[in-house]
A and B are shown apart, each in its own frame.
Chain A
């Protein structure tokens, strides 16, 4: 009898608690997913500061997401890595330009502002890159697509 009571107290009650947690948790909401490897759909810009971000062999924008925190990678691991946040499908991330910059590049950092629109067929990324400090630099538009079959399911 003592063993049965111990079992109920140490196993049965926590099990009921677990069911309660799952019930409560269903009402929680998490940030909208934006992660994935987006294939670029716009031609690479000619801006010299962004040469590393648009190599011919890796024309993708890879977004890794941990809750609202995002890591935006352009041009693979040797390209640009920007960090920032996402909120309801909008993103803002920034980071330094590589120390070895091409001639004609006076900026030292870059900021990405964008949105992810989730359609039934694909997730669409649209936004722009802004260089700083560079008053004369125009924002560089970015657009990408992530097919639905990999969106959400793709390893982050």
Chain B
């Protein structure tokens, strides 16, 4: 039985610290999400557990973490549904060669660098229970991810959405998002193949079949929901209950297929009818609860799993290399590809800076990797620091590369 008092105290404590750190970091021009990521690390063994171990153990005793983990996983499932829901294929139309080349290059360049880095890190930070292919593909996927929601918010805040740069950035980030989740699903299949009861090709087949059914038959069936909403003029509570059931069922299927529940939730969001009334109503009902309650819980749970103390001695040098490779691959790859497809160098570097924002998406990928056992605790801690560093550097770098005056011009 959960200790309800303790659980409530944990949730309350996490929310207060997350909002507080978010506010403080906001004073430096950083988005709230950066503060919440930081708050998670502050509450974990890296700071609170190190400075005041007795307080930390009293607030987060190991036996209680299962409930916090369950809440954060449920939040993550619904968050991934929203990510899928906000994915709009229309953003890709009419972008032509620029978006195609830039988005593909902005994935493959960091992916290749991530895989090259895996050659160096595999003997140092992994073990023989993990296949090199799974490790390298994971490192590649983790290096190529972009935080689409953070990027979209930054573009809107800076008035860049209607510019050529903004349009290409949105299109690239959308392609990156889908690609990263597909790649991660492939990694999950490879990583779990050894322990699964079914052979690898069958696992791949099952995942592909499920995706195909969702994208065709289920999407067609969901079109009925759109007709019901049109007839009634609103999304009823029954309809929302059905959507919640649908999300959970899809998450359950992908978990049973041997990959992670988040993929099913993402797919459920991606196949929802693209009707403004439906997406708007769902976003309105889920969004605040997600941002205010569940995401801080997820950040806190990530922080509780992150032990910076595991990075010691020469591992700090490797941590710096990880950050360097992440920045060089994503920022450099995007900038060069953007220049090759006709954007100016300034626009290219601005695009690279935006694409380099890892944010929350990176933490989702890293948690999946740790759950699957593909990455070790020390590498997890390094990658969390990388996610934090790349997200933190975006605003000041963008201000330098593409200041407000340049946007007006």
Report A's interface with B, CB cutoff 8 A.
Answer: 3, 6-7, 9-11, 14-15, 17-18, 21-22, 24-26, 28-35, 64-69, 71, 76-78, 149, 151-156
Contact = CB atoms under 8 A, between A and B. Distances in A.
A6 B340 contact: yes
Q: Top 5 nearest A-B pairs by Cβ distance?
A: A66-B378, A152-B129, A66-B376, A33-B129, A33-B127
Interface stretch (B102-110, B201-209, B275-283, B389-397): B102-110
Interface in B110-135: 111-112, 115-116, 118-119, 122-130, 132-133, 135
A156 B73 CA distance: 18
A33 B128 contact: yes
Contacts of A6: 101, 337, 340-341
A33 B127 CA distance: 5
A20 B83 CA distance: 33
A21 B132 CA distance: 10
A21 B336 contact: no
Contacts of A25: 115, 118-119, 122, 132-133, 135-136
Given A33-B130, A35-B129, 8 more contacts: A18-B112, A22-B136, A28-B123, A30-B127, A68-B124, A69-B378, A149-B195, A152-B373
A130 B39 CA distance: 39
B328 to A, nearest CB: 13
Contact of A28 (B116, B119, B370, B379): B119
Contact of B128 (A9, A21, A29, A153): A29
8 contacts: A10-B336, A21-B116, A26-B133, A31-B126, A35-B129, A64-B377, A65-B376, A154-B373
A21 B115 CA distance: 7
B9 to A, nearest CB: 18
A30 B122 contact: yes
A21 B136 contact: yes
B230 interface: no
A32 B128 contact: yes
B109 A14 contact: yes
Contacts of B61: 77
Contacts of B341: 3, 6
A71 B129 CA distance: 17
A7 B377 contact: no
B57 interface: yes
A149 to B, nearest CB: 8
B26 interface: no
> Which of the four size classes fits the interface of chain B?
35 or more
Given A25-B119, A30-B126, A66-B125, A14 B136 contact: no
Contacts of A34: 127
Nearest to A6: B340
A31 B136 contact: no
B373 A153 contact: yes
Nearest to B313: A69
A26 B129 CA distance: 13
Given A31-B128, A67-B127, A155 B119 contact: no
B403 interface: no
A131 to B, nearest CB: 22
B4 to A, nearest CB: 21
B108 to A, nearest CB: 5
B125 A155 contact: no
Nearest to A36: B129
Nearest to B60: A77
B310 interface: yes
B48 to A, nearest CB: 13
Contact of B123 (A14, A31, A149, A155): A31
A7 to B, nearest CB: 6
Interface in B269-300: none
Contacts of A71: 310, 377
Interface in B57-72: 57, 61-62
Nearest to A9: B340
